[in-house]
């Protein structure tokens, strides 16, 4: 059971960006169609990834097993804890959207989903993970213990390595 409720560390960056691309597509469809069903699917997907990594997430399975191996023959790996934190932010935003939908309708849902859309688009198309950045800030502030992710405390080094890897 412990293996089920785990998150990979490290994470294949191509798989993470593929998941983010799927989130962008699903979020745009949810907003365009005003689909309650897609809103619940989006929320459930985030919770599945937070709790089990890609194990119970169809999008996570597609990203890790199908897309990432085909898109990158030489994968770049990044720390898992910040990616899990980023998925947690997505879970929080989509859960808030679901809760606000019932009494208030689509306007607050659209606000939550637009914030999600910005963050997912930055990850998908520019390789900038806002959740990971916030995670690093929290570590530097002492709110997340250094032992959670030794590599995460120095964001500048992480982004320098990522930039160098993309240049190769």
Residue 151 lies inside a defined structural domain of this protein: no
Residue 164 lies inside a defined structural domain of this protein: no
Residue 142 lies inside a defined structural domain of this protein: no
Residue 29 lies inside a defined structural domain of this protein: yes
pLDDT per position as a tens digit, 12-56: 999 999 999 999 999 999 999 999 999 999 999 999 999 999 999
Counting the structural domains of the chain, the total is 1
pLDDT per position as a tens digit, 102-144: 999 999 999 999 999 999 999 999 999 999 999 999 998 989 8
Domain interval for residue 69? 11-127
Whole-structure pTM value:
0.86
Residue 2 lies inside a defined structural domain of this protein: no
Residue 160 lies inside a defined structural domain of this protein: no
CB-based contacts of 94, cutoff 8 Å, min separation 6: 39, 42, 43, 46, 112, 113, 116
Residue 112 lies inside a defined structural domain of this protein: yes
Residue 150 lies inside a defined structural domain of this protein: no
């Amino acid at each position: 059971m412990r293996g089920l409720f785990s998150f990979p560390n490290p994470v294949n960056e191509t798989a993470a960006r593929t998941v983010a691309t799927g989130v962008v597509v699903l979020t745009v469809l949810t907003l365009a169609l005003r689909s309650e069903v897609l809103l619940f699917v989006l929320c459930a997907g985030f919770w599945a990834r937070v709790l089990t990594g890609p194990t119970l997430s169809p999008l996570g399975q597609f990203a890790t097993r199908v897309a990432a191996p085909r898109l990158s023959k030489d994968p770049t790996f990044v720390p898992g804890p910040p990616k899990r934190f980023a998925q947690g932010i997505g879970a929080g935003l989509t859960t808030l959207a679901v809760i606000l939908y019932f009494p208030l309708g689509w306007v607050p849902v659209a606000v939550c989903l637009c914030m999600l859309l910005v963050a997912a688009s930055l990850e998908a198309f520019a390789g900038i993970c806002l959740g990971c950045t916030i995670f690093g800030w929290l570590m530097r502030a002492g709110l997340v213990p250094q032992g959670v992710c030794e590599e995460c405390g120095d964001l500048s080094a992480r982004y320098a390595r990522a930039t160098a890897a993309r240049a190769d």
